[in-house]
């Protein structure tokens, strides 16, 4: 039962993540590409959410039928299953490599202006945020 108890403690408690100091050049590169991937996944999730909302609205208004709605939703589900667990699992890795939790939350909430300022500090061109 020890493993089970530790799993539940793990789920509902804040993580005790050791932040790595003095990153090597390779680690810095890895951190930045992981952050770019996190941004990409978040933006893709947001697009998916908008598409699903639009589809739901069209269905409710009678513009698309049940079969078409179901087809779109199956694809939405498959895509969500690919995207969301990946971005969820990336968070702790990024924090470990020194990315502040606040920045991850801002990306998650789509606060683009604030994110750009942080990206400059990390040496990532902010234009990347719009291009993903």
Partner 1 sequence: MKKEDSEIHIFFIFWGPSEAGKTTALEYIYNNVPFLKKGELIKIEDEKGSTMMFDFVPFVILPEDEKSKVQVLFHCYTVPGQEQYSDRRAIVLEQVKYADGFIFVADSQMTRIKDNLESYKELKKLTKKILGKEIGKDLPMVVFINKRDLPNAAPVYLIKKIFDHADAFFETVAPRGIGIIEGFKKISELVLLRLLRELGEEE
> What are the residues binding partner 1 (CB under 8 A)?
1-4, 6-15, 17-18, 42, 45, 48-49, 52, 56-57, 59-60, 66, 69-70, 73-74, 76-78, 80-81, 84-85, 87-89, 91-92, 95, 101, 104-105, 108
Closer CB to partner 1, residue 45 or residue 116?
45
- To the nearest whole angstrom, how small is the minimum distance from the Cβ of residue 125 to partner 1? 25
For 115, other C-beta atoms within 10 Å of its C-beta total: 21
- To the nearest whole angstrom, how small is the minimum distance from the Cβ of residue 51 to partner 1? 11
DSSP letter, residue 99 = -
Give the whole-angstrom CA distance, residue 127 versus residue 116. 8
Residues with Cβ < 8 Å from 49, sequence gap 6 or more? none
Closer CB to partner 1, residue 93 or residue 128?
93
Please check whether residue 126 is in contact with residue 35, taking contact to mean a CB–CB distance below 8 angstroms.
no
- To the nearest whole angstrom, how small is the minimum distance from the Cβ of residue 62 to partner 1? 13
DSSP letter, residue 65 = -
């Amino acid at each position: 039962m020890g493993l089970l108890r530790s799993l539940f403690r793990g789920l509902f408690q804040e993580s005790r993540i050791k932040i790595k100091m003095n990153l090597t050049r390779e680690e810095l590169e890895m951190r930045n590409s992981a952050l770019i991937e996190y941004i990409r996944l978040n933006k893709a999730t947001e697009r998916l959410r908008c598409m699903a909302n639009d589809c739901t609205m069209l269905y409710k208004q009678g513009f698309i039928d049940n079969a078409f709605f179901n087809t779109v939703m199956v694809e939405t589900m498959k895509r969500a299953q690919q995207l969301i667990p990946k971005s969820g699992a990336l968070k702790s890795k990024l924090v470990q490599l020194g990315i502040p939790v606040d920045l991850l939350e801002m990306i998650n909430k789509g606060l683009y202006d604030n994110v750009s300022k942080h990206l400059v500090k990390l040496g990532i061109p902010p234009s990347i945020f719009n291009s993903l």
